[in-house]
Amino acid sequence: MTGPELYAYVAGSTAGHAPADLAPWADEVALAVNAAVNHALDLPDGTLLSAEALADLHVAALAIGAERMKRREAPFGIAGFDVSGGAVRLSADDLAAGRVAIARWATYGTVGVG
């Protein structure tokens, strides 16, 4: 995942009206998320992932990245409030959005070690 991909995913149709410093922040978050996902996968060096694994992990990385970018606006974990006034909180584990995909491909989906 790249910073521009994450920026487009998070900003969506409001990209032209997003804060000017959001794009550089997306670059930093993308680097951190990619490193975190690679570390969590813990695959041997030279492991090649299938196209399906790469696509699944890319979507997971976008979700994790969106969560991390939202933390900038919600440093204490409150992302907003629901219609009844209850707090909507961010996950305590920012990798939670991608844990299923990470677990799935950490042991499966490889096409070999090169």
Residue 80 vs residue 11, higher pLDDT: 11
For 65-83, the pLDDT digits (tens) are 988 887 777 766 666 666 7
Q: Which residues contact 76 (CB under 8 A, 6 or more apart)?
A: none
User: What is the pLDDT, as a whole number, of residue 79?
Assistant: 67
Residue 26 vs residue 17, higher pLDDT: 26
